[in-house]
Amino acid sequence: MNEFDFIQRLRDQTRSRKHSSRLVKGIGDDASVISQLAGRAVVVTTDLLAEGIDFYREATPPRLLGHKALAVSLSDMAAMGARPLWSLVSIGLPDDVWNDTFKDEFFEGYLALADEYGVTLSGGDVSRTLQQIVIDSILLGEVSSGAAVLRSTAQPGDQIYVTGALGGAAAGLKLMEMGARVSRQEAGGRLPEEGEGRGTSPTVREDTIVRGTSPTVREGSLSEPPADRGPQAGRPLGVAVAGGPGRSEEDSIQTLLLRHLRPSPRVGWGIVLGEERLAGAMIDISDGLSSDLAHLCRESNVGALIQSAQLPIDKDVIKLCGRRALDPLALALHGGEDFELLFTVHPENAARLPKRVDGVAISCIGEITNEPGQRVRAFQNLRHSPVLRIEVAVMPCKAIP
């Protein structure tokens, strides 16, 4: 099958899927045509995934790679408080990959996630490469004019929040480097805890917002309200634990591998925080909490103080790290690709925050300061970080009302 035949088959597949009525012309022409609404601003993001840099072919099932190619762009869109609507994807494949089932499985994963979030694939390109797979993902969305949430608008005194749990994706990558592989069943797309905050809530529909009320978080329930969290018997000092009921070690390994391979973009939270004007500034955690907080502080010309006891570290990370000489707090602070949302909230708006959206909770982890730079107040010492200064102290964080 040549490139043109494949594009035609992909075009036929997308015709049967629900698509935006505002897409005037999609796949099949030289460019896509989209009808724009008055009072709405277009938000555009792009992500490049290169084999050997951003993923390893031998460890990444093509269906999960298709999912991730769109998920990383959805996370960027969520960080702007925007609704994702249309996508374009271009993929370059070497001959050995082109001739197997890779491209079909890739688009199965891509389109399945697009369906979850009401995104219409409206164009792209396919080509051959000499050796490595290259993927370019473009996503377009909308916000009300002037309502995009930026990195540059944090203010001293703002509280700092994060969605979900931290450290899982970095732990999954470490396990992968140690030789762990996702099971065939998981490669087909099923998650260990099916249905928990997968983005199927009406929060992502174009015409409405409905806040999720599920008692569970996809990364596991936060066992205590933020005001009560802190070091407890049986927990590593200086961390809060987020996780569900105990499972086997193999279940935990598979869960962490999928944190890395099949991230869950927090689109619902992004829409709520943006459209309800709750977030002062926001960024998604792609490079790691410490690095992305540094980006936000630099753009806003502010500093930050983080309480390590308030960090919601995934329970599976805590469970597996001890036996593998890994530091869960370091993974939560410096690991990347959690694709959670890191955002600031003015204290007077904190009472308006929902406790969960799409079943995913949030945690208050610190506050914005006047002093440039980032500090972590912790119960234990960490390795040196170029962007974080470690202090051995305890100061309670303002809790979610």
Q: Residue 283: which residues within 8 A CB-CB, separation 6 or more? A: 79, 151, 292, 293, 295, 296, 341, 342, 343
Q: Are residues 299 and 196 in the same domain?
A: yes
Q: Residue 246: which residues within 8 A CB-CB, separation 6 or more? A: none
Q: What is the mean pLDDT of residues 180-197?
A: 58
Q: Are residues 313 and 377 in the same domain?
A: yes
Q: How many residues does the chain have?
A: 401
Q: Are residues 336 and 231 in the same domain?
A: yes
Q: How many domains does the chain have?
A: 2
Q: How far is CA 377 from the centre of its chain?
A: 25
pLDDT of 205 > 60? The answer is no
Spatial distance between the Cα atoms of 143 and 77, rounded to a whole number of angstroms: 10
Structural domain ending residue among the three candidates 93, 117, 144: 144
Structural domain ending residue among the three candidates 144, 167, 192: 144
Q: Are residues 237 and 359 in the same domain?
A: yes
Question: pLDDT by residue (tens digit) across 118-137?
Answer: 999 999 999 999 999 999 99
Cα angle, residue 209 at apex, residues 217 and 37 outer, rounded to 5°: 135
Spatial distance between the Cα atoms of 220 and 218, rounded to a whole number of angstroms: 5
Question: pLDDT by residue (tens digit) across 351-394?
Answer: 999 999 999 999 999 999 998 777 777 544 444 344 444 343 33
Q: Residue 238: which residues within 8 A CB-CB, separation 6 or more? A: 231, 308, 309, 329, 378, 379, 380
CB 140 within 8 A of CB 43: yes
Query: Residue 200 — pLDDT band, cuts 50, 70, 90?
Result: very low
Both tokens assigned to 131: 């050796």
Q: Are residues 257 and 305 in the same domain?
A: yes
Q: Which CATH number belongs to the domain containing residue 122 in this structure?
A: 3.30.1330.10
Tally of helices (H runs) and strands (E runs) in the chain: 11, 16
Q: Residue 368: which residues within 8 A CB-CB, separation 6 or more? A: 154, 155, 156, 157, 158, 159, 160, 297, 300, 302, 303, 304, 344
Phi, psi of 83 (to 5 degrees): -90, 125
What domain range includes position 219? 159-392
Structural domain ending residue among the three candidates 144, 170, 189: 144
Mean pLDDT, the chain, rounded, equals: 79
Q: What is the mean pLDDT of residues 212-223?
A: 25
Q: What is the mean pLDDT of residues 332-356?
A: 96
- In the DSSP assignment, the letter for residue 155 is -
Q: In the chain, what percentage of residues exceed pLDDT 90?
A: 61
Question: pLDDT by residue (tens digit) across 225-272?
Answer: 233 333 222 333 344 555 555 578 899 999 999 999 999 999 999 999
Of residues 394 and 327, which shows the higher confidence score? 327
pLDDT of 217 > 90? The answer is no
Q: Are residues 99 and 219 in the same domain?
A: no
Q: Are residues 213 and 119 in the same domain?
A: no
Question: Tokens 């298709």 appear where?
Answer: 66
Q: Determine the pLDDT at residue 32.
A: 72
